[in-house]
Chains A and B, each alone.
Chain A
Amino acid sequence: MSEQTYSSGEIQLVVFKLGLEEYGVNILQVQEIKRITEITRVPHTPEYIKGVINLRGSVLPVIDLKIRLNLPQQVSTEDGRIIIVKVKEISVGMMVDAVSEVMTINEENIDSPNVVAGSVAANYLSGVGKLDNRLLILLNLETIIGIGQEPKPV
């Protein structure tokens, strides 16, 4: 799905920060953005699964994106948010450092993720968007959530 949307003219992205880098996800996959609430740790899950939260009565897993993408950890700030995305009928929260804006980008300005090939996280990216002086890293949510590579119980 991600490939198709990126290749059809203009797309809208929710832009957020992880450390100093800027990332984007397709707005159509975003359900809502929430302040960071109390997260319940779930034992015997991969490290990047931060735990579960209560979203109006249903229980939702939350992924720590920085651990998932192998980025250095920082102390979380007031700006921290949880972006709730829905991929293939699975809803998941993603912890990010800050959500900055929603912007439109032309697909011509998106390069394939191969430019960063070799990095451990390349598998989790679907492209790199160029916008004036900024670089937006576009995420492949399916691999990030781990569909098809379910966390094995330890």
Chain B
Amino acid sequence: MDLNQYMGMFLEESREHLQTLNSCVLELENAPDNLSVLGEIFRSAHTIKGMSATMGFTTIAELTHEMENILDMLRKSQLHANADIIDTIFKCVDTLEQLVESVATNSESVIDCKPLIGKLKALAKSESIQASVVEGKTENIGPQYSNIEFSETEIAVIKNAQDQGMQAYEVHIYLREGCLLKSARSYMVMNALDEIGEVIKTIPQVEDLEKEKFDLSFQAIIVTGCDGDKIQQTVLSISEIERAVAVLCVLPEVTVVQEKLEVIKTEALAVVPGNAAATVSSAVDKKNKSGQSVRVDIDKLDALLNLVGELVINKTRLEQIGLTHKLVDLVETIEQMDRVTTDLQSVVMKVRMVSVGQVFNRFPRMVRDLSHGLGKEINLIIQGEETELDRTVIDEIGDPLVHLLRNSIDHGIETPEERQAQGKNPIGEVRLIARYEGNNVIIMVEDDGKGINPEVIKGIAVKKGLITQADADKMDTNEAVKMVFLPGFSTAEVVTDVSGRGVGMDAVKNKIESLGGMVDVETKINEGSKFKIRLPLTLAIIQALLVNVSDEIYAIPLGSIDSTINIKSSDLKTVQNKEVILLRGQIIPIVRLANVLNIPETTQQQDELFIVIVHIGNLKAGVIVDNLIGQQEIVIKSLGKLLAGIKVIAGATILGNGQVALILDIASLI
């Protein structure tokens, strides 16, 4: 069988599951008793094992198999997730990542997993002795009350659920004879049960159900607020189910280990209440998402977007024909079409949108490793992961964010001792926040560390010859801090491997600007720094104002326009020989577009001037144009390789009459 055609799918899904593993293990580290997280880890590992075995990647399969053993013991509470185990699991995930990548690059795998597998085996063995003890205990209590054995944790969960007015049911499910896909049926049953409550145990175990290692019946223990009838109905709603019986599960009266159980119960109370409800809903959410999506090659989406772009151009052309020839019927029809194309465009745009969570996901793990390595304690807070950005932006935004986070962790957050000495919480806080702001998405990296000292920045900049001492003296705090974005600037006195190579911030700024965005920094000494990235939602179709300069037409992106005003030429003032205007008490520098664009000066002096007030961040400027044509939707086209990198031009677009108009790069005008 040719497996190559499945390769792409295998790689993509493996990466996805590894990502899930990473974030779930992190969660597990914080809440070692959370069974649903364990369940998810187990499922991901199991899927990777299955896929890799099918594809013939035995090393991956072998490693995941050993890992699964440990996870299974954790899940059955035969093992407690201590730091050693978590670290080992992380190592496994890292190794798996390397293995998967080596498969992707087609390089011979030279990664030796033996030590890791040995370690996993040792962990499993050392704990299995304890495990047998625990099992022994449950057996003592179990038999006479129920034919199902519960582990202590399971008992605790059931007890806890009962305290909350929920009940545990033992559901016996009997499949119809001749049922073909038994594992699929059992999976559907589990899904259905998951929606009305939480399945805490199945007999036989889930993986045996998946492998069809059961006859025609199986059992599940579910904790739910529904009654037995409801459970039976739910199960029977699935086809090929012969019969379902839900019996109230009676917990054995515990006398011998009562005391111990009490302890567990209180512990469980602390951990479980929120979790039980939350995990059920999150599990349902996930299922909804994965059930309805289709993987599409990004190239196809790009082609679709291009076609929609063409359609928009042609629509605009038709519109103009209708207007010039005064064809009322045509204009009306085009208005209809306009609505459709606008919808089509927004749908295509949305299809290409991806939530920033995809990028944010990998940061908790990175922050954990970095902070451990630096001996710092850091709490990473992520907000607004659901914020969506165009796919092309998402692909590019990862590296700049890594740089910013590394900087915050390495330079921003102090060591716990330093923090305590200053009366701060010894645990530093780094916040990664995404949100919408108009037509932009804002991503912020904030820390509550030591902030950036402008004097230090000035000193370094002078020392490195980036500015003169005289310049430095004139600079205000804001300007000084912005110098961190200058090429070849590094603030760390010692170059660490985490950050401080002096290429970071410069590269961050370039990358963000190449995406049509901006990055800004705010800082307060000893209170922290805030890096703010502003990105456009999409890169392909924008609203723009068309203007005339001499007989040429230029487009100014509407996003950077404040207002347009109409003034007398006598309103122009000069400050130090530079033209400015006074607008609502604000001095705004004037840019004569004709000069910037090397357009031969028109001899006729206009008395009335059209000025477009544009802004980039807090900077404003007034751009003098000859005439305003109007607002229009434009499709951004690149000028091609040959003309790339022209300073004042951001791109080109095709107007309704087929003519090419250039798009101004406002950032370079100010």
Contacts and interface: CB of A to CB of B under 8 A. Distances in A.
A151 B643 contact: yes
Contacts of B639: 42, 52, 59, 61
B621 interface: no
A59 B598 contact: no
A90 B641 contact: yes
Given A54-B660, A57-B654, A59-B660, A43 B642 contact: no
A136 interface: no
Interface in B613-663: 637-649, 652, 654, 658-662
- Judged by DSSP, the binding face of B is loop
Given A52-B660, A53-B660, A57-B313, A42 B642 contact: no
A143 interface: no
Interface in B310-337: 310, 313
B552 interface: yes
B340 interface: no
Contacts of B647: 44, 153
Interface in A56-115: 57-61, 90-92
A41 interface: yes
B643 A52 contact: yes
Contacts of A41: 552
Contacts of A54: 654, 658-660
A151 B552 contact: no
B643 to A, nearest CB: 5
Contacts, number: 76
A92 B643 CA distance: 11
A145 interface: yes
B597 interface: yes
A91 B643 CA distance: 12
A42 B662 contact: yes
A59 B649 contact: no
A59 B642 contact: no
A40 B642 contact: no
Contacts of B638: 59
A40 B643 contact: no
B646 A146 contact: no
Contacts of A49: 642-643
Contacts of B648: 43-44
Contact of A42 (B596, B643, B659): B643
Nearest to B552: A41
A145 B597 CA distance: 23
A59 B659 contact: no
A38 interface: yes
24 contacts: A40-B659, A40-B660, A40-B661, A41-B552, A42-B646, A43-B597, A43-B646, A44-B598, A44-B648, A44-B649, A49-B643, A54-B660, A58-B637, A59-B638, A59-B639, A59-B652, A59-B660, A61-B640, A90-B641, A90-B642, A91-B640, A145-B642, A150-B642, A150-B644
